[in-house]
Amino acid sequence: MCVAEVATFSPNSYGAKAAEDMANAAAVIPTRIGTPRGGIFWCDQAIEKYFKHIISRDGDAQGLTLRYKLLPLAKQAGYRCSDSERYLLAELARMYYERYPADEGEDVPADPTWDDVDKAYALALKIQKWTYTVDGRSSGKIRRGLKELQF
């Protein structure tokens, strides 16, 4: 776990939980331990919690978990997505369908590939850095922590 990053957030906050999820992603993705779905899961969770961290600064973020809906969280947090980011955010939770089983009559998405995971991780890193910029957490300590997470 990247202690430098987690330590900058209040314990049990969305920011600290997002940092833990990013540390898990950073451990799984370069080594390809487990399945791609595990990597997708950690990226999805980190992105969701970074958005909730920004949203919760101005109020309560409880109840913001929206199945297959990272885009409304991005909008509420003020994150401006490119078209490719918008598509990836829309599909990210669906790729992890064991957590979010398909409703009756709904198509089950194809299993994610490691290429899908790499794209999700790159987006999670970008959103992580955006979060620090918005939140004013761009100290040298954080930059060192971010460097530890990248592969």
pLDDT, one tens digit per residue, over 61-103 is 555 555 557 888 898 889 999 999 998 998 886 776 555 556 6
51, 46, 47, 32: which is closest to 118 by C-alpha?
Answer: 32
16, 134, 108, 126: which is closest to 6 by C-alpha?
Answer: 16
pLDDT band at 45 (very low <50, low <70, confident <90, very high): very high
- What per-residue confidence (pLDDT) applies to 109? 67
Say whether pLDDT at 117 is over 50.
yes
Chain CA centroid to CA 66, Å: 14
Instruction: Look up the pTM and report it.
Output: 0.77
Q: What totals of helices (H) and strands (E) does the chain contain, helices first?
A: 7, 0
Given a contact cutoff of 8 angstroms between Cβ atoms, the answer to whether 44 and 96 are in contact is yes
